[in-house]
Chain A
């Protein structure tokens, strides 16, 4: 999918709601080409950095650091917010990643996770989606990881619309191949999409 459900406007909305200080340090884990990072820099004036273990070089990859989310090249308690858009489900060690997020975030720092979720049977796909978990599973992971949930935004409607558009654009087959699942399997999973905004809990 070219853009995440909700699009960059959705990211803006979520970020704005958090009322971050000017020049806040914002990290985008699994940032891909880093387009969100550049957007955050230009539009919001944040000190935004993208982190990707396999960064996509598209000629304009400013602000992207090659690192693993389990081991961020940042000092403790320095970041105001961490984003993971469609990337948390791909992390091999979700617990370790959350520990690391806790470490780099300031005491009241924000963690925003946007991901595909299963409204039916959860699944683990080999393609570009990784784990598709029930929403309650993701929430539990965050809570156990030391974050309190502040807001859950359901973007399923947007996902469905993108999906329908993809079929019309004759891109559905390629999408199935990329994610390693067929239409029948997707029907069993009943994919949804949500954005979870959480805050780092004290100690």
Chain B
């Protein structure tokens, strides 16, 4: 999981680090490693991730 952007949490002034993040949709839960603020946990999801893998999982679940 490489995010080309160097993002900084505005509140904590910390650079984001990869952390395990949980998702849920239609009664199922999943996890993946995403850049998060090490202090407050604020997460970043890139549009690329949304358009590819997240959209595909959403479709799979809707069609189950």
Contact = CB atoms under 8 A, between A and B. Distances in A.
A170 B30 CA distance: 13
A156 B64 contact: yes
Interface in A143-181: 156-157, 160-161, 163-165, 167-170, 172
A161 B53 contact: no
Interface stretch (B9-17, B36-44, B54-62): B54-62
A167 B31 contact: no
Interface of B: 23, 27-32, 53-54, 56-57, 60-61, 63-64
B28 to A, nearest CB: 5
Given A156-B64, A160-B64, 7 more contacts: A157-B28, A161-B29, A163-B60, A165-B31, A168-B32, A170-B53, A187-B63
Nearest to A158: B28
A160 B61 contact: yes
Q: Can you list the 3 inter-chain pairs with the closest CB atoms, starting with the nearest?
A: A164-B57, A168-B32, A160-B64
A167 B57 contact: yes
In the complex, which range does the number of interface residues on chain A fall in? 10 to 19
Interface in A77-117: none
A161 B28 contact: yes
A52 to B, nearest CB: 31
16 contacts: A156-B64, A157-B27, A160-B28, A160-B60, A161-B28, A161-B29, A161-B30, A165-B31, A167-B53, A167-B56, A167-B57, A167-B60, A168-B23, A168-B31, A169-B32, A187-B63
Nearest to B23: A168
Contacts of A160: 28, 60-61, 64
B28 A172 contact: no
Nearest to A156: B64
A170 B57 CA distance: 11
Contacts of A163: 60
Given A170-B53, A172-B56, A164 B32 contact: no
Interface string A25-41: 00000000000000000
A162 to B, nearest CB: 10
Most buried by A among B29, B31, B57: B57
Contact of A168 (B27, B53, B63, B64): B53
